Amino acid sequence: MGAWKNPPAAPVLGVVGRARTTSAFDLQRWAPSPQAAVFVEHFWSVSWDLRGQQPFDTTVITFPSVHLTREWGDDGARHGHRLPASLVHGVVERVFHIRIRGRGAVVGARFRPGGFAARFDRDAAMVTGRVERAGDDLFGRPLAIPDDIARAGQVLDDAIGAFAGELDPAYRTLTALIDRIRTEAGMQRVEQVVAASPWSERTLQRVFRRYVGVPPKWVLCRYRLQQAALAIESAPDVDFADLAARLGWYDQAHFINDFGAMLGCTPGEYAARHGAPH
């Protein structure tokens, strides 16, 4: 464990203002085992000790991913659930806000888009926008996850990797398709995604809803918005019109509207709060 731990103060894709908040909490990421990697992008943990300090607000521009977490701490409850708790976090359609206080920790598995549905034969849309307790039926048996970062990560890895079923071919196709959406700058429209897939648009929409929990248009927009926020945090004096064009928006006005709908502020306001110093 520990392939990625509190890197030097630098922007992090999806984590708002991370370069300026590295002292507030300890963030780690590590790779899954080969067995779990079929479904999981990475494991992660966040821990903090803010005793005697003010609570801290953090914001994440979420990925199209379901998370399975083990959470504990002296703050008593999170996301409407008493601690300690094992929780399933569906895809968050806007941004994820949380206020951390006292002392606490979270260990999580970030599933590949579609990975949670493929591993557990669940409809991802049923948990979109929701945080639910992970019941004993999730793994077909009670799963004792200790409140310890290293051991909890190992228990989750072992349990997720112990998959004895037959993998749905649609999931493998979807995984390759989403990798292209994420990495190919020219993949910006739903019709391009349809052309790159073996499915009709109607089937594509159905596959995304079942496996990812959100439609393909949302996935396309979310990856571009993450890149836009990262660019604003990484370089001073970003030209918003150029940024909008590079990332595939029809014009700057559409970019500003989408950015504001997600983060509740304009790109200029975001730059004033979180932008790279001159």
**pLDDT exceeds 90 at position 13:** no
Between the alpha carbon of residue 167 and those of residues 117, 239, 241, the distances in Å are: 11, 45, 43
How many CB atoms sit inside 10 A of residue 258's CB? 17
Among 129, 149, 159, 145, which Cα is nearest to 40's?
159
pLDDT digits (tens, 9 = 90+) for 99-149: 889 999 999 999 999 999 999 999 999 999 999 999 999 999 999 999 999
Decide if 222 contacts 261 (C-beta within 8 A).
no
Q: How many CA atoms lie within 13 A of 52 on its CB side?
A: 0
Which pLDDT tens digit goes with each residue over 35-93?
A: 999 999 999 999 999 999 998 888 888 899 999 999 999 988 999 999 999 999 999 98
Note whether 33 and 157 are within 8 A (CB): yes
Q: Is the pLDDT of residue 4 over 70?
A: no
pLDDT band at 96 (very low <50, low <70, confident <90, very high): confident
What are the tens digits of pLDDT across the range 207-249? 999 999 999 999 999 999 988 999 998 888 889 999 999 888 8
The answer to whether 130 and 92 are in contact (CB under 8 A) is no
Phi, psi of 24 (to 5 degrees): -80, -35
- Residue 38: name the closest of 137, 198, 122, 162 by CA: 162
Instruction: Tell me the per-residue pLDDT of 141-192, one tens digit each, with 9 for 90 and over.
Output: 999 999 999 999 999 999 999 998 899 999 999 999 999 999 888 888 999 9
Beta bridge partners of 131: 89
The rounded distance, in Å, linking the Cα atoms of 222 and 189 is 12
Residue that is written with structure tokens 């659930």 in the block: 81
Burial 217-242 (b: 16+ CB within 10 A, else e): ebbbbbbbbbbbbbbbbeeeebebee
CA distances (Å), 249 to each of 61, 131, 221, 244, 275, in order?
Answer: 18, 32, 9, 5, 21
pLDDT number for residue 179: 94
In the chain, domain spans:
4-161
